[in-house]
Amino acid sequence: MVRVRFAPSPTGLPHIGNLRTALFNWLFARHHGGVFVLRIEDTDVARKVEGAEEAILSSLRWMGLDWDEGPYFQSGRLPLYQKTARALVESGHAYHCFCSTERLDEMRREQMRRKMPPGYDRLCRNLTPAQREELLALGITPVIRFRIPLEGQVRFNDLVKGQVTFNHSTLDDFVLLKADGFPTYHLANIVDDHDMRISHVLRADEWLASTPRHLLLYQALGYEPPQFVHLPMILSDDRSKLSKRHGAVSVTEFQVQGFLPQAMVNFMALLGWSLDDHTEILTQEELVRHFSVERLARTGAIFNREKLEWMNGVYLRKLTLEDFIGMAQSYLERDLPPSVPRPLNRGYLLQMAPFIQERARTLGEVSGLADFFFLVDVNYEVGLLLKGIEKDAHKQGRDVAEATPMAVEALDKAMEALEQAAVFEPEPLEQAFRVLGEELGLSPGGFFGLLRVALTGRTASPPLFNTISILSRERSLTRLAVARGKLEPTRL
RNA sequence: GCCCCCAUCGUCUAGAGGCCUAGGACACCGGCCUUUCAAGCCGGUAAUCGGGGGUUCGAAUCCCCCUGGGGGCACCA
């Protein structure tokens, strides 16, 4: 029976590295019809962050990673760890250490200075019972350290790294139980993985170095160790370990920016795993069906935001119009200036949404792409109006200065045409304006470009005549008039 | 400093001795479509497979060395 777990510590917002680990564990469990356990490793009282736990749960839910057991909290299982630590002392696999933090710090400084590998010098390892009683009598609360065998080596077969060997001599007597009675990660992790009958440990590469300690612990406890699978890490742009200081790496942040969970899942799955030499887009079901440890990569991967954005665009376009509108609406209502009345009109959204859906890469981009549909006034530089017309003037061998009167005339005629338009639909409008453009001696690019800027305030927009018909006759006329005013301020 | 891991286009990756004059994707550059921008389609640039030795008839693929990168070395996880 496959039993895996995701065991984050609530020390901050979960970042994509954490969630990718969760995803792989979840995929592995689902693929094998196993159990996915959620366990919160809250054994560090000092580093605990308020709200982190909730953020972890909500990120998992958002990504669709449902768990079958838990969340278990290590803080609620203290007696179990303490009992285990005591048993280890009794069996001779661990011992009490009375060294002060100050002494330890000094020791490490000295080791570094002498270019020696830092590590506990085992001062307390062979304390006699009498010495121990003496220190205890002084009121010092000892920690419990694991007694690493002096000779020999640990060897294990990691499912992605293969055979890995560590000499005991490179391992130091690490702490199992802290003075505050809380276990360290090493102890709690092993006790729980055993207690929860975890069969496979899929965790980030950074844990590889502590695996020999864990194996020795399993051995001392007489527990059967799980299979280890060390996942390649997700790297920041400079190839270093991802951390909070590397910008927007929390999953919550991606959610806020308007990435879809399906895209996140798909993209993250491809960071360190691949199906074959060509498949990029996979649904969650397909990922479950195909996921396998054999196809995990062994190298770290830089998180390529560009590609994520592309993929998110793909998912956005796959949405039904109704679903897209549902999501776009909340982002629009969040991002549009307060002058735009809420709630947004559903029927109006239905008209403009198709043109935005094929252009947006994230939902956060929607308002920037569509604001002119909602604003009362659009803002732009006058010069933008003339760009295309100037080109036409130049082509006709006329002076650039003539562009302004040309544009004014074009706007006047355009307003007339809009007023007279019998059917306010894209096709008839286009027909009428093409004819008009010819009459004005303007190229479609010049004429339509002028109108585009006047109506949307920008040089790139959805198709012009769709835009006009969505905006309505009245609003279009107003904007053309405003544009005219910008060109001839004195005559206004 | 010590220990461990890793090494294919800028990035994500395919490749498990001959299908590789190294494939796909993002990005980039062209073209088509087109009123603009997207989307879509077509095409292109881009890795002497980190370097050097082996093994082999044959190596991106196996072995060794070097180099480079990363991770770990807390009473943090």
Instruction: Say which nucleotide is closest to residue A273, CA to C1' distance.
Output: B13
pLDDT (0 to 100) of residue A423: 87
What is the pLDDT averaged over residues A275-304?
A: 96
Q: Å from A174 (CA) to B15 (C1')? A: 42
Q: pLDDT band for position A392 (50/70/90)?
A: confident
User: pLDDT, tens digit, for every residue of A9-67?
Assistant: 999 889 999 999 999 999 999 999 999 999 999 999 999 999 999 999 999 999 999 99
Measuring alpha carbon to C1', the residue closest to nucleotide B26 is A307
User: Angle at which helices A78-90 and A211-221 pack, to 10 degrees?
Assistant: 70
DSSP reduced 3-state for A59: helix
Q: What is the DSSP letter of A421?
A: -
Q: Mean of the pLDDT values across residues A404-433?
A: 93
ipTM, 2 dp: 0.95
Question: Measured CA to C1', what is the nucleotide nearest A170?
Answer: B3
Provide the mean pLDDT of chain A.
94
Calculate what percentage of chain A has a pLDDT beyond 70. 98
Chain B positions within 7 A of any protein Cβ atom are: 1-8, 10-16, 23-27, 35-40, 69-77
Protein residue at shortest CA distance from C1' of B4: A209
How far, in Å, is the CA of A277 from the C1' of nucleotide B20?
14
User: What is the C-alpha end-to-end distance of chain A, expressed in Å?
Assistant: 80
Distance CA A299 to C1' B67 in A: 18
Q: Which nucleotide is nearest to A10 (CA to C1')?
A: B77
Please report, rounded to whole angstroms, the spatial distance between the CA atom of protein residue A295 and the C1' atom of nucleotide B23. 17
pLDDT at A492: 46
Query: Cα–chain-centroid distance for residue A187?
Result: 30
Protein CA at A162 to nucleotide C1' at B16, angstroms:
14
Q: How far is the CA of A472 from the C1' of B21 (A)?
A: 60
**CA A388 to each of CA A401, A411, A418, A461: distance values in angstroms, whole numbers, following the listed order:** 13, 13, 21, 15
What is the nearest nucleotide to A40, using C1' and CA?
Answer: B77
Q: How far apart are CA A373 and CA A340, in angstroms?
A: 10
DSSP category for residue A183: B
Distance of A72 CA from B31 C1′ (whole Å) = 59
| Cα distance between residue A5 and residue A3, in whole Å | 7
Task: Mark whether A244 is an active-site residue.
Answer: yes
Bridge partners of A155, per DSSP, are A165
pLDDT in tens, A75-128: 999 999 999 999 999 999 999 999 999 999 999 999 999 989 999 999 999 999
What whole-number distance in Å separates Cα of residue A397 and Cα of residue A401? Answer: 12
Residue A400 has pLDDT above 90, yes or no: no
Q: How far apart are CA A86 and CA A88, in angstroms?
A: 5
Quote the pLDDT of residue A443.
92
Show the beta-strand stretches assigned E in A248-335: 301-302
Nearest nt by C1' to A452 Cα? B36
User: Which nucleotide comes closest to A9 if you measure CA to C1'?
Assistant: B77
Q: Which residue is nearest to nucleotide B69 (CA to C1')?
A: A239
User: Does A491 have pLDDT greater than 60?
Assistant: no
Q: Is A207 helix (H, G, I), strand (E, B) or coil?
A: helix
Across A468-490, average pLDDT: 91
Q: Which residue from A190, A209, A213, A212 is spatially nearest to A201, judged by alpha carbons?
A: A190
User: Using alpha carbons only, how large is chain A's radius of gyration in Å?
Assistant: 33
Residue A226: asked if its preceding bond is cis (omega within 30°), the reply is: no
Residues 6+ apart with CB under 8 A from A421: A428, A429, A432, A473
- Catalytic member of A83, A241, A244, A486: A244
Strand A94-97 relative to strand A162-167, pairing: unpaired
Query: How many percent of chain A have pLDDT more than 90?
Result: 90
Statement: residue A246 has pLDDT above 70: no
List Cβ neighbours of A49 (8 Å cut-off, separation of 6 or more): A10, A11, A12
Whether pTM > 0.90 for this model: the answer is yes
The pLDDT of A315-319, averaged and rounded, is 97
Q: Which protein residue's Cα is closest to nucleotide B72 at C1'? A: A209
Q: Which residue has the tokens 């079901």?
A: A285
